[in-house]
Structures are given as C-alpha cells and as structure tokens.
Structure 1
Amino acid sequence: MKKLLLAALLFGLIPVLKAQKSVKMENNKQDSLAIAGVLENDYFKAIYEGDTDRLGNILYPGTLLFGDVKGQPYAKNREEYLTGVKNRQSPKDSGKPFEWKIISVDTINSIAVARVMVKMYDFLYDEFLSFHKIEGRWVIVNKMISDISK
C-alpha cells in the first residue's frame, strides 16, 4: 500500500515539476525580449545619436568598460565613457555607416549577458554586455568590447 501511495504521489508531482520548468523558460524568454528592447530602443539609439542622457539611464552607476580598440587596451568607468560619447561626433552626424546586430541574449534569474555587434566609424565591435535586473528594470552593469575590424 505504501508503495502504491508513493508511486501515485511521484506520478502526481511530475506534471507540476514540468509546469514549473516551462514557467521558468517563459520568464527567460520574456526577460530576453525585455533586454532586446533595451538594446534596440535605448542602447543602440543612444550610441548612434550620442544621447548621453538615454545611455546614462541604462548604464548602472559603477559600470565598468573594458576591452581593446585597434589592438590597444581600453578601460573606462561609466562617467569617462559618457564624457567620451558626449564629446565625440555622433555616428549619426558623422555620415558613416552605423549597423548593429544582437547575436545572443542569455538570462539566468536576474542576470544576463548579451552579445552584440556594432559597426560605427571605422570600427567593428564585438561586445559583451552584462545586465542585471534591479528594481524590475534591466540595466547594463559591465561592457566588454573588442574591435575586430581588419
């Protein structure tokens, strides 16, 4: 009798466990779509237009940026980066091509990494952007770039 009850209990839990797993997958899809929205509506537009207010809104205070540009090390904090964007000619005003592409977005609970490609000026950047969901909003907490133009 105990074996029969245990089997019934286990078989009864399997659909519940599957339902929990599908809910989590749906949340990851929703979060990935939300991050794609931040990238498309804020990040790419802000760097294209040189909009430091919009860009600053999605970069969490304390965000660090690392990588290489034309083979040279690149390291800035959020404020240095925003100052650089503010003081340069925007890609929009430069008249040079500006292209972007979301390669992937991977989420786990409240963290995520997006891989994107950005072509601007004479550079082609492969970027990894780390996101964290803070107070219900996805923000960039780290940016790593590598200029892969030849």
Structure 2
Amino acid sequence: MEEWVPVIIYNMKYLSLWAWLFIFPISSFAQKTKIMKTDITQETEIRSAIEQYYFRGIYEGNTELLKEIFHKDALLFGDIKGVPYYKTAAQYIEGVGNRISPEKSRKAFKATIISIDVINTIATAKLNVKMYDFNYYNFITFHKINGKWMIVNKTLTDVEL
C-alpha cells in the first residue's frame, strides 16, 4: 500500500495542474461584464433637451418646441384617470397647441426629472409633471439621431395626489 501513496499523490498533483491549466484559460475568456456608467455629457444634453424643449413646450403650449424634441413617428401610450391613452406625436402636439397652457391659465406647474439612464445612443428618463389637476409620471425613451436627442416613445400615467 505504501507503494501506491506516492503514485496517488503524484497523480493528484498532475491532475490538479491539468485542471488548473484548462480552467484558468477558459475562465479568462468568460464574458467580460462592463459596468455601465451614465455618460455625464450625454445626460447633461438630455437634461437640457427635457428642460428647454419638453417641459417648456408643455408649460407654454409651444408646439414648435415640442416638434423639436419629438421624433415625427413617436408614439405615446398610457392611462389618464384609469382611461387608456394612445396618441401619435402629431396628435399629442396638436392637443397641446389647442389647450390653454399652464402658463396662460396661471395654474401651478411643477416638472421634475427623477432619473436619466444613458447607454450608447439610447436613453430613458423618468419624469414627474404636476399640472392642472394631474400628477403625471412619464417614462420617456430617447434616441440620438444625427447628433440630436429625440423622444421616440412616451409612456405616462396619472397618479392621484
């Protein structure tokens, strides 16, 4: 039995070495996960676009500002006071133009950017807009097209105050 002990130890070392050689290279080629960081410059551009075009456009009822930020084929989905909501960007912008703006009505208006996430040329923004008797939460999807951040989708819901 003593003759077998060195052979077993030798074989175990040999097997361990081979196992290490095979496992280490394989694990070094495993998918490398890259921590996604929001690009501060891109986030600043989106924040500015939201404030200068989207928030200002809905507050003033300025359809020209909204046309600057909404892609012509953008769609809007959601619910308002429990009623399903669907519009194209053109329908939405026309509706904003036909209503009395919060600015003209002198009603309270508070718009807040809750978060912005950017990955490459896409981004999402979570917004809260309180106007008239509504407390809207918006989830806006952006796409950078020809160097400009455009709204390509908007989902919204109204939450009781």
Per the normalisation by structure 2, the TM-score is: 0.76
List structure 1 segments (4+ residues) > 3 angstroms apart after TM superposition: none
Match of 2:51 in 1: 40
Q: 1:127 aligns with which of 138, 143, 159?
A: 138
Q: 2:116 aligns with which of 82, 105, 122?
A: 105
Residues 57-114 of structure 1: CA deviation (Å, up to 9, x unaligned): 1100100000000110000001111111111000111111000110000010000000
Aligned partner of 1:96 among 86, 93, 107: 107
Q: Give the RMSD, CA atoms, in angstroms.
A: 1.6
Aligned to 2:155: 144
Q: Distance in 2 between matches of 1:72 and 1:119?
A: 18
Q: Which residue of 2 aligns with 1:73?
A: 84
Equivalent residue number for residue 61 of structure 1: 72
What's the % identity of the aligned pairs? 47
Q: Does 1:51 align with 2:53?
A: no
Q: Give the Cα separation in 2 of the matches to 1:89 and 1:54.
A: 16
Show the counterpart of 2:31: none
Distance 1:55 1:96 in 2: 20
Q: TM-score, normalised by structure 1?
A: 0.81
Which consecutive residues of structure 2, in runs of 5 or more, have no partner in the other structure? 1-33
Report how many residues are paired: 128
Q: Which has the larger radius of gyration?
A: 2
Query: What is residue 21 of structure 2 aligned with on the other side?
Result: none
The letter for the 1-side match of 2:47 is A
- Structure 1, gaps ≥5 residues long: 1-20
Rounded Cα–Cα distance in structure 2 between residues aligned with 1:92 and 1:136:
31
Distance 2:69 2:105 in 1: 24
Task: Provide the secondary structure at the position in 1 that maps to 2:39.
Answer: helix
Compute the displacement of 1:149 (Å). Answer: 2.0
Structure with the higher fraction of residues in helix conformation = 1
